[in-house]
Amino acid sequence: MSSANPKKIGENHYQIDADSNLGMKVPVRIYANEALLQKMLSDRTIMQARNVASIPGIVSHSVVLPDGHEGYGFPVGGVAAMDAEEGMISPGGVGYDINCGVRLLRSNLNEQTVRSKLKDLVNDLFSSIPSGVGSKGAVRLTNSELDEVLVNGVNWAIEHGYGSSNDSDVCEENGKIPNADPNKVSDKARKRGAPQLGSLGSGNHFLEIQKVEEIHDEEAANRMGIKEGTITVLIHCGSRGFGHQVCSDYLRVAEQAMEKYNINLPDRELACVPNNSEEGESYRKAMFTALNFAWSNRQMITHWTRKSFERVFSQTESDLDMKLVYDVAHNIAKVEKHNVNGEERKLVVHRKGATRAFPSNRNEIPSKYRDLGQPVLVPGSMGTSSWILLGKSNSMDLSFGSTAHGAGRTMSRSKARRNFTEDSVKKSLNDKGIFIKALTRDGVVEETPQAYKDVDSVVNVSHNLGIATKVAKLVPIGVIKG
């Protein structure tokens, strides 16, 4: 067996040992079943994870989660922790869509009530929430207002009437990460971001109306206010063109600085700088502004979603009990404390297409859920289920407190366009009772459920390993795409 071939070391648990000939400093751990592993081996996922294992200062092991697939430099569904003092920070280890994330709203409406007005509801949501490539938000920000968004995150939206403090209470980081510095952001990023606040965007971003189909953990579901048969809304979007530009800008900075710091890597897409260097500090402060932009963005979409429900059902938000359950970030790097070989260390944890999945009694979890564990949201792909999970203690040993962030692609967008038509995808969704409204033909075809892995398999791996366990299964009935 070559060192490139994963060996099975437990149920859903594979490893590639560190090979110094390949520059690897730590092993690679892969969490998957056999079918998911075979898909990873069919592209560059595993090779990329091996390359990540060569980054200076990486600790313990490089992680591939069950939704892992090929990405830019790092695999999507990849986690890597670097020593905060000696290690690196890498823009590619966070990704282009900084704080692409998911938030879940619950309601007390049942499926029958919503189905009777489903088309009206989807059309109202579609007309009130801007979506699509380069789409403009409904808010025009001055430079100083944009600065406030970049520093205050979700609080900016709430202070301007888009929701309440109950919303920020159930966001990761309470929707505002400190030490964001707008001065570390380029004019180009500002120009791209200023008109886009409050917009969904394109690609795999969506807003879904879902019903709660199965409850697997009664206690956790009760605490989250999730009841079988009721309607929820899942919002998936990020920092739009703003975050994309921040990543582009700092990838160039990192590429240029590597020679200065004498960093040699097997792939230039892994470009990184020492975490404590001037370039590392600047990237972190800029990345934090994009995190805050994304939380504010999702908050405004949440506000307009509630208003649509109010209009269509002629009830108030409070009558409908449209509370935010939780908001999780993907595509993020944060300094956290983790035990490594029995010693508590400060690590820069890069989650690229991965969700934090902390167990109970971690201070980072909002007080409402602290004794329960962190809610985790795993979206499917417009024709398949999504899941609510609960972070568990095994995640701390196996994946630096992380789990999968979605189904994970298996088919490129261009291949999806060659293999499917808009009519065939819409018919297949319609046959399942799902009404979709999309801005473009490609928005439908590229995101066909057949382009993704089976999200239930991804979730089963997480559940079986005790990284994050099942709370409830949600299935779509209405979808909005860019």
Positions marked active-site: 405
Instruction: Give buried/exposed letters for 334-362 (b at 16+ CB in 10 A, else e).
Output: bebebeeeeeebebbbbbbbbbbbbbeeb
Residue of 323, 297, 303, 78 lying closest to 198 (CA atoms): 297
> Phi and psi dihedrals of 353, rounded to 5?
65, 45
Residues linked to residue 324 through DSSP beta bridges, in sequence order: 105
- Listed in sequence order, the residues at least 6 apart from 8 whose beta carbon sits closer than 8 Å to its beta carbon are 14
238 is in an annotated binding site: no
338, 250, 242, 257: which is closest to 294 by C-alpha?
A: 242
**Residue 380 labelled as part of a binding site:** yes
Residue 406, annotated ligand binder? yes
206 is in an annotated binding site: yes
Q: Which two tokens stand for residue 220?
A: 């956790």
> Is 382 known as a binding-site position?
yes
Residue 403 · residue 467 · CB < 8 Å: yes
Tell which phi-psi region holds residue 62, choosing left (phi > 0), alpha (psi between -120 and 50) or beta: beta
330 belongs to an annotated ligand binding site: yes
- Can you tell me the distance from the alpha carbon of 106 to that of 108, in angstroms, rounded to the nearest whole number? 7
243 labeled binding residue: no
- β-pair type (435-438, 468-481): parallel
Does 205 belong to an annotated binding site?
Answer: yes
Indicate the residue type of 17.
Answer: D
CB contact at 8 A, 406 and 382: no
Quote the CA–CA distance of 307 and 310 in Å, as a whole number: 5
| The token pair that represents 301 in the structure block | 């979409």
* Residues 128, 319, 212, 394, CA torsion sign: positive
3-state secondary structure of 134: coil
258 is in an annotated binding site: no
* 457, two tokens: 């398999």
Does the annotation flag 407 for ligand binding? Answer: yes
Block residue for tokens 């994870």: 49
Which parts are annotated binding residues? Answer: 97, 204-208, 236, 330-331, 379-382, 386, 405-408, 481
> Which residue positions form the known binding site for GMP?
204-208, 330-331, 379-382, 386, 405-408, 481
Residues flagged as binding site for Mn(2+) = 97, 205, 236, 330
